[in-house]
Amino acid sequence: MKTIREINLKNKKVIVRVDFNVPIESGIIEDDNRIRQSLKTINYLIENNAKIILLSHLGKVKTEEDKIVNSLKIVYERLKQLANTNVYFSNETRGLTLEEKINSLKEKEILLVENTRFEDLKGNLESGCDEELSKYWASLGDIFVLDAFGSAHRNHASTYGIGKYLPSFIGFLIEEELNVLEEVLNNKDKTVILGGAKVEDKIGVIKKLVNNTNKIIIGGRMCFTFLKALGYDVQNNFVDEEKLEEIKLILKSYKDKIILPIDFISNKKVVDLGDINEECFDIGPKTIDLIKKELLNSSIVLWNGPLGKFEEEIYEKGTKSILNFLNEKNIKTIIAGGDTGNAAHKYNLDFYYISTGGGASLEYLSGTHFKTLDNMK
């Protein structure tokens, strides 16, 4: 994989696809980790006298109203505070004004371009990897750097399209992400924790890792599909009926490898497995103890997806307790992005690695081929 270390960057217009898709609530960035994680690449480009053009998406843009709430202007204001150089903003994603701002850039300066998904209002041009848009964005620079791991699995105009028309390299963030995930794949003494809501997102990871893993611990909303597959009555807790038969086959082959919750928190009270009579929102104390015992047997832990509805204080104990346990025991832990990463930041906990890409991490671990990386070989 070609990295930006391999090229002369002086006075070059470098287009960098970053991932500034940060959580925003009431006009405030709740977690700026993805912006901070991009700084290693950005600072390297500054030090090597490049002219830096940053592209990113933010949220989904389906209507004109979405453009208001998903403008990158708020990210621009934060980036100005973090970057040790002049930072400018373009309200336009194409056109003469954008081109003039790029041509006015001096070495070491940054231009952040408005949300790439604004182009989706014109017929999904970004998400559909429109050829004309890809060529246009490529025409704005001399070099393309892909450093948005959270979007590296998407063949969009700003990730895959530009890379077909310019000399292309990966940034330091993607290099680090890939190295860490390869470390996970190659380590046989690991435990995997999978939570969250979606079963289908995790099936590929289970199949890929189960033979090379100590245990796979299942929690979160997705666990009820597994429990129903074993014959338990889970009442009105969500079950992915379409995946039920596939889960039954996985459990039949690997039941001894998979650990499921044995109690839950339901409406502020503890409910044992077998006595579920309403919706559950967190794992219970027996399950927490069970998980802790299993984690002590691993040299490395991979975790994607919270174990409960941690956003609400009354249902955060499962996720928070296990995060604190891993941190206190100094167990080498890789948080594979998404809401688990948000939880780690919420509780101000440090780990060996916190990925910036939840969906991308899962797809890479399941063996999905990333076409975006082909341009960097």
Q: Are residues 162 and 234 in the same domain?
A: no
Q: Are residues 353 and 213 in the same domain?
A: yes
Q: Is residue 89 part of a domain?
A: yes
Tell which residue, 283, 301, 344, has the closest CA to residue 193: 301
Distance (Å, whole) CA 162 – CA 12: 16
Angle between helices 244-254 and 200-209 (to 10 degrees): 20
The sheet carrying 190-194 orders its strands as 258-259, 215-218, 190-194, 300-304, 332-335, 353-354
Q: Are residues 160 and 303 in the same domain?
A: no
Reported as a single tens digit per residue, the pLDDT across 33-54 is: 899 999 999 999 999 999 999 9
Q: Which residue has the tokens 């995946």?
A: 243
Q: Is residue 316 part of a domain?
A: yes
DSSP string, 314-357: GG-HHHHHHHHHHHHTT-EEEE-SHHHHHHHHHTT---SEE-S-
DSSP category for residue 106: P
Q: Are residues 247 and 323 in the same domain?
A: yes
Q: Is residue 68 part of a domain?
A: yes
Q: Which residue has the tokens 């690695």?
A: 353
pLDDT reported for residue 305: 95
Q: Are residues 142 and 272 in the same domain?
A: no
CB of 228 within 8 A of CB of 244?
Answer: yes
Region of 256 please: left (phi>0), alpha (psi -120 to 50) or beta. alpha
pLDDT reported for residue 298: 87
Domain end, chosen from 155, 175, 195, is at 175
Q: Are residues 154 and 226 in the same domain?
A: no
Domain end, chosen from 129, 154, 175, is at 175
Q: Are residues 191 and 165 in the same domain?
A: no
CB of 215 within 8 A of CB of 191?
Answer: yes
DSSP string, 196-221: SS-SHHHHHHHHHHGGG-SEEEE-ST
Q: What residues have CB less than 8 Å from 349, skipping those under 6 apart?
A: 323, 324, 327
Domain end, chosen from 149, 175, 201, is at 175
Neighbours of 11 (CB within 10 A): 12
Q: Are residues 274 and 225 in the same domain?
A: yes
- Both tokens of 194, joined, read 């999978």
Reported as a single tens digit per residue, the pLDDT across 66-84 is: 999 999 999 999 999 999 9
Q: Do the strands 51-55 and 110-113 form a parallel or antiparallel pair, or are they unpaired?
A: parallel
Reported as a single tens digit per residue, the pLDDT across 285-336 is: 999 999 999 999 888 999 999 999 999 999 999 999 999 999 999 999 999 9
pLDDT reported for residue 337: 77
Domain holding 282: CATH number?
Answer: 3.40.50.1260
| Structural domains in the chain (count) | 2
Distance (Å, whole) CA 330 – CA 352: 9
Tell which residue, 271, 277, 264, has the closest CA to residue 219: 264
Residues recognised as catalytic: 34, 198, 338, 359
Q: What is the mean pLDDT of each run of 10 residues along the chain (377 residues)?
A: 95 98 91 94 98 97 94 97 97 98 98 98 96 98 97 97 97 96 92 94 93 95 97 95 96 95 93 94 98 92 96 96 97 91 91 91 93 93
pLDDT reported for residue 338: 78
- Both tokens of 300, joined, read 């490395």
Q: Are residues 110 and 239 in the same domain?
A: no
| pTM of the model as a whole | 0.92
Distance (Å, whole) CA 214 – CA 308: 23
**Which residue range forms the structural domain that includes residue 214?**
187-365
Distance (Å, whole) CA 17 – CA 158: 7
Q: Are residues 231 and 151 in the same domain?
A: no
pLDDT reported for residue 297: 81
The number of C-alpha atoms within 13 Å of 294 and in the hemisphere containing its C-beta is: 24
Q: What residues have CB less than 8 Å from 315, skipping those under 6 apart?
A: 265, 281, 282, 308, 309
Distance (Å, whole) CA 89 – CA 97: 11
Beta bridge pairs of residue 193:
217, 303
Ramachandran angles phi, psi of 202, nearest 5°: -100, -15
